[in-house]
Amino acid sequence: MTHTLRHDWNRAEILSLFNLPFNDLLFRAQQVHREHFDPNRVQVSTLLSIKTGACPEDCKYCPQSGHYDTGLDKEKLLEVEKVIEEARAAKANGSSRFCMGAAWRSPAEKDMPYVLHMVREVKALGMETCMTLGMLDEDKSKRLAEAGLDYYNHNLDTSPEYYGEIITTRTYADRLETLANVRSAGMKVCSGGIVGMGETQNDRAGLLQQLSNLNPHPDSVPINNLVKVEGTPLENEEELDPFDFLRTIAVARILMPASYVRLSAGRETMNDQMQALAFMAGANSIFYGEKLLTTPNPAAHKDMQLFERLGINAHLRKACEEKPAAQQEHPLFYNACA
């Protein structure tokens, strides 16, 4: 069976996928995944916060919002050399993509020269570049693309219907406009959302409907599980059933067969078995390292151990560039370079 790319999914169709028996859903997702990807490969990215805190947006999940007291210190934009140092370390540890995030509503003009310089320098290291800086207009999108930015991350977060319960300082249309500007400038789109914010299954279907009906689909689709941070309005939100999270991963894979589905924030609370099921459901990208912007992430060595146990040959540059040492420590990764 060949699964074609569609951009006309309706809500009822998507809900019918969510309501399949769990084993049937994972089986179908794995079939789709194998048509488009090596099922035992995971793309690895590193994320660095280049400007932390005091964001004017009121996203209820975010510890960086200036509206909430989460104990997070406001920080200035990192110096370019510090960013490059972190990128070099990420490359040495195996990341193929370096993502830089700033807590802005939109990048100020005075900050653009520094941001563009960061992109050029990271690109010069031979890594893929990704940024998330808030909303972008056509001009800033074009300048970032010309500097060599490969991916721009701008999540839709949730369904259009539930969006107003989470954010009031920018609209859903604002987010879609940024994605259109990014795509028009020639960059690849990284866009997904967050589950576990009190939304219904219908809202999770609505989020995936919006993403899957973009034409073309986002190149990367991060699925975040809410990280509850003290001081934010969602700090006491009820835990999402892990199977509901896995269903979201699987449905995303079916709706967007050729996109990378990224197991993103919230991974530090997942045991190895849940992560393995997420890979079975079609997740084939992770953030690698000990922190995602301001929240914890599983230690890098734990990821390596899990990949080795699962026989996953992650795209780790270190294994390809340092073959003798890597072969001894991580033979599975070394074999993937051959």
Q: Would residue 62 show up in a list of annotated catalytic residues for this protein?
A: yes
- Catalytic hit among 62, 183, 204, 247: 62
Kindly list the distances between the CA atom of residue 220 and the CA atoms of 191, 226, 304, in Å, as whole numbers in the listed order: 6, 19, 22
Q: For residue 34, with 0-12 CB atoms within 10 Å meaning exposed, 13-18 middle and 19 or more buried, which class applies?
A: exposed
Q: Please identify which of the residues 28, 97, 99, 175 carries the catalytic annotation.
A: 99
Backbone torsions φ then ψ of 106, nearest 5 degrees: -160, 145
Could you confirm whether 320 is annotated as catalytic? no
| Candidate list 55, 247, 267, 317, residue with the active-site label | 55
Of 100, 156, 93, 89, whose CA–CA distance to 128 is shortest?
100
H-type helices in the chain, by residue range?
11-18, 22-36, 80-92, 112-124, 138-147, 163-166, 172-184, 201-212, 242-255, 272-280, 300-310, 317-321, 323-329, 331-337
Compute the distance between CA of residue 314 and CA of residue 325 in angstroms, rounded to an integer.
16
Q: Which of 6, 11, 34, 59 is catalytic?
A: 59
Q: Catalytic site residue 130?
A: yes
Choosing from 130, 183, 204, 247, the catalytic residue is: 130
Residue of 28, 97, 262, 317 marked active site: 262
Neighbours of 72 (CB within 10 A): 19
59 is catalytic: yes
Residues 145, 151: Cα–Cα separation, whole Å: 9
Choose the catalytic residue: 97, 175, 183, 190: 190
Catalytic residues: 55, 59, 62, 99, 130, 190, 262
